[in-house]
Amino acid sequence: MAESTRLTIPAVMGEIKQACEFVMRAARHAGLDEHAAYECELAIDEVCTNIIEHGYEFNGEAQKIDIICEQVDERFTMVILDDSPAFNPLLGPEPDPDTSLEDRKTGGWGVYFIKRLMDEISYQQEDGRNRLLMVKHLQPLNAERAPRAKISNHIASFEMGNGVCVVSLIGRLDSDFSLWATEALSPHIHEGQRLLIVDMSGVNFITSNGIKVLVVAYKQMRALGGNMVLAAISNRVSDVFAIVGLDTVFVTYRSLAEAIATTTTAVKPTS
């Protein structure tokens, strides 16, 4: 017997976290393992962000997004409804994950994510509304379910001298975080900054908007003649990087200590 739950949120960025939590609870209740539930959470963030940014053009304060989660046999379904202008997001051109960071566009990865995270996805117009259906097939639960960390977003930084700076990102690199993260990073990206080491050990969730922040920062550093590397990327974040091909283009290190030891020896002191 099908069991469904429904959530309605205002079409604003600040409400996406509520949608993510709702889908995560529903996915776990349906019997998805932690990894599959995480993929559903990531997909719903991308869909809602796309609706708010492109459908309502950030003017959706008076508009609504409806999310309906349902378990039918071995399928966990998510239906997302909105009243923005009719548009099928699945028909757009796909970005190339093999593009170099210098030539890579900063946007356009959200739908690409969704297609690879979900087992089924379809779009149609229903009663004058956009209707996106996403399906995740149920798999046997893992024997042990890890607790989900609750970490507040923030950025910590440490100037090491000689044009080297360590920036630690902590929390969720999602649609909400990206609104201020670029501005928070900008003081550490300037003429004379030779190396930016981004510590990712505290990042527990990343979306295409979070990736956009990193790509923009990398391009800015390269334009100034500097470089940016990443350290201590979690398995979850690494999986997302692999989807968009960033696992082979970003220079990464297993730990912050390794990144500091390896990169700072290559940076010659300034006279």
Where does the pLDDT of residue 4 fall: very low under 50, low under 70, confident under 90, or very high at 90 and above? confident
**Per-residue pLDDT reduced to its tens digit, 78-130:** 999 999 999 898 887 777 776 766 776 666 778 888 988 899 999 999 999 99
**Per-residue pLDDT reduced to its tens digit, 19-35:** 999 999 999 999 999 88
Global pTM value: 0.70
pLDDT > 70 fraction of the chain, expressed in percent and rounded: 87
**Per-residue pLDDT reduced to its tens digit, 40-88:** 999 999 999 999 999 999 998 899 999 999 998 899 999 999 999 998 9
Residue 8: which of 39, 48, 37, 43 has the closest Cα? 48
Domains of the chain by start residue, with CATH: 3-137 (3.30.565.10), 154-264 (3.30.750.24)
pLDDT of residue 243: 86
